[in-house]
Amino acid sequence: MKKICYTVAIIIISLLLILVCLLKSGRSGREEKMSAIEVSSGANGDYIKWVDFNVTYEALCAAYDLDVASYDEEVHLNWIELLAYAGAKSGGSFGKDSVPLIQKLAAELSSGESTLEELTKDMKYYNYYCEAYEAVLGGMVGEYEIEQADENGKKSWKKVYGLKAFSPIAKGFEYSDYDDFGSSRSYGYKRQHLGHDMMGQIGTPVICVESGYVEALGWNQYGGWRIGIRSFDGKRYYYYAHLRQNFPYALNLEEGSVVTAGDVIGYMGHTGYSKKENVNNIETVHLHWGLQLIFDESQKEGNKEIWIDCYALTRFLYKNRCLTEKNEETKEWFRSFQMKDPAVAEYKNKKEKQTA
């Protein structure tokens, strides 16, 4: 009997020791997570050094719908602030409770029951999530003008408030995808996949997600023919890779070109994985598109780069797919309906003043 009691006591002590280790491990994991949202000090002041963008498709849709629906109301809800509140509440994790939380917050703000300042005054990381999510989504919703056609096909301009970012694949062109962010890649060296792949057919028109200017254009041994477009505020760098052999880009595109969201910028292919230009070494035809966040220019190149998972964002952008048509003479595709983005006009005016 004494032996049995002794054995039971040993087992209990062992289990307690294991539990203590697990608690320490969990605490360590939380501490690492919290340290990941601290800021660094640089030449341009303090800046965010890391972002885990875990906002779900459902949360994006809920916050966006509330923003648009309240645009002409006394209290205009900002979708990024709604998402930042939910992110700060959950430590950046979005689960099944996120949408009800966003809706509850929206109801409180709309009724005047409370203000966002009051609700977030004791939330230590709200400002972090607000700045981080603004960096991801800042240029995607706002006022713009878009051409629309009546029943007779006559086009006219209409002023709109809403989603002014587009899916990277033109309307009417099928594709398949899944969440492949972080999966392993081995060409050149072992690394993580820091983008989102959309599988389709060669020549599928690739669409500019957000208005900006072309910062990079040409061959990269990993991405093949690729385009890098920077947002006007400098916070987002859009990377479109593995474009079509021989005819990868829109003919008028060059470094420095200003592009409007919805413009056709290139064509899907499978170039890359070669130091030699114009080589198809990628097995599967697809568009790789990635979104890099830049809070400080030191993060643009090297081991400080911040790339986010674009899977949920890609699903969200499916709401806005650009209709295109083909010029049979040049074999180029063009958008069917033009768009006037105030951000484009503002950037061009700024550049003109700088060069005057």
Q: Are 291 and 230 in contact (CB under 8 A)?
A: no
pLDDT for residue 22 is more than 80 = no
Q: What is the pLDDT of residue 58?
A: 98
Mean pLDDT value of segment 249-262: 97
Is the CATH code 2.70.70.10 the one for domain 165-355? Answer: yes
Return the domain boundaries, the chain: 57-137, 165-355
pLDDT for residue 162 is more than 90 = yes
Q: How far apart are CA 346 and CA 261, in angstroms?
A: 15
Q: How far apart are CA 255 and CA 271, in angstroms?
A: 20
Mean pLDDT value of segment 141-164: 96
Q: pTM to 2 decimals?
A: 0.87
DSSP code string of 50-76? -------HHHHHHHHHHHHHTTTSSS-
In percent, the amount of the chain with pLDDT more than 70 equals 86
- The rounded mean pLDDT for the chain is 89
- Here the tokens at position 38 are 């601290």
Mean pLDDT value of segment 183-205: 84
Q: How far apart are CA 263 and CA 260, in angstroms?
A: 6
Classified as helix, coil or strand, 181 is coil
